[in-house]
Structure 1
Amino acid sequence: MLKSIENVKMHSYPGMVAVIGTRTERGVNFMAVGWHAYLSMSPPKYGIAVGRERYTYKALKSQQAFTVNFLSAAHSEFIQLCGTASGVEIEKASCASYRVEIGGVLSAPFLTDAYLVYECEVEEFMDVGDHDWVVASILSCKMDRTMFQENGLPNFSKLQIPLYLGRSTYITLDDKVKHEEYMNPHSIKEKS
């Protein structure tokens, strides 16, 4: 039975964590974001939540461009590093020996180990409380096609996706998860 609680808790996890790539005055920086979303198909837009005190926020304001890098579960430790260490302190990609390339459209850095990368141009910063919601146009998309099925869905026999639970804890989404398709909207009624 549901009961009211005194303080609102954030229980939207598990969720995918993306790694944001930005150029900085010192080179490149990567930051993990748990709050992000595809906002529009036409035109393609993406949104990320970034705290105004973050090093990445300053780079976003300055450069007006970033990449959204999706990494497999094999890279969970690097994702965690990107979410807990500041680019002021360390150059994350270098210390973890990741290969970085600069995007062709906006010159934003991306990780070559990513299975999917969006190259984005900032359109708007929206104050939504303790974070800004950064709305951006997706100008380019790079993908490792071997990680996807012909229908565009992930191929979980090849790709393991890390899902963040909170408190530095991850689980893996792979082909061991029960898979059901609900093509018929009435199928739910038929089961009851």
Structure 2
Amino acid sequence: MSQTGKFIVIEGLEGAGKSSAIERVNAWFETHFPGQSRVNTREPGGTPLAEEIREIWKRPRQEPMANLTELLMVYACRAQLVETVIKPALEQGKWVIGDRHNLSSLAYQGAGRGLTREVAGLSTITLGPFKPDLTLYLDIDPKAGLERARGRGELDRIELESLDFFERARQCYLEQAASDPSIRTIDASQPMEKVQQDIELALAEALL
């Protein structure tokens, strides 16, 4: 695939402030790349079919969801989104801003659920060498992040997981960021103004 657009992803645990970060990223692009076409996506979800799967995936239910079922649903959503939205947009020269991507699966289903080998296999099958040009990882202590998430209202199935689950996920995020120069870590525990400044600095360093 001849990729002419850019794929920028925002990652982080629950309560890290991804929604605010995505707003800031979009505003930054409006300022520095006026007229550049952009597409915003989210995972799991981002297409009508993937959104239907997301609704099943996130909603608490009486029947426990097997870890492998959760994993397969995530990659079904991702494959649909990448093949029908992200890659076509990039080929058209558009920039894609993603709310989560494969790094979430490495952290949540891989480290959190103990399915690292399965995540690696499905990633190879569905994505191959395809990856974001830049990932902004919003790092926050899981306890503080979950407190923020609770302040938003009712928690979804993932947000109801144990603190240990999110500790494992965070450790994976940090390890991946340390080994991959395309991942920039932002301290999300700072005041929002400082977080936004760090986001803009990371974007400028990577893209200007």
Mark yes or no: TM-score above 0.5.
no
TM-score when normalising by structure 1: 0.23
Q: Which has the higher helix share?
A: 2
Larger radius of gyration: 1
Q: Which has the higher strand share?
A: 1
TM-score when normalising by structure 2: 0.22
